[in-house]
Amino acid sequence: MQLSWSDRENIAKALKQNFPDTERLELPLDRLKAMVISLPEFTGPPEPPKPAHLESILWTWMRLADEGGA
């Protein structure tokens, strides 16, 4: 499955799977961006359309981790 910036839920799932031990509360947004871009499935441009995309991905990742979701 190819991912782009609009696939926030799937990006968060991939981050949870690929970076399970990451301390999300202390994660700078520039590091998060690098992690997203490093995902093998990510085919979007290197810059998100808006900084809010990164924040949304981060909060989704936190929610999934708290829920124990996939």
Q: What is the pLDDT of residues 21-44, one digit of tens each?
A: 999 999 999 999 999 999 999 999
> What total number of domains does the chain contain?
1
Query: Does residue 51 belong to any structural domain of this protein?
Result: yes
pTM score of the predicted model = 0.90
CB atoms within 10 A of CB 58: 19
- Whether 40 is in a domain gets the answer yes
Rounded to whole angstroms, the Cα distance separating 60 from 58 reads: 5
Residue-range definition of the domain harbouring residue 25: 8-67
Place of tokens 């799977």: 17
Q: Provide the CATH number for the domain around residue 52.
A: 1.10.10
% of the chain exceeding 70 in pLDDT: 97
Does 14 map to a domain? yes
Let me know if residue 49 belongs to a domain. Answer: yes
Q: Of the candidates 35, 64, 61, 33, which has an alpha carbon nearest to the alpha carbon of residue 47? A: 33
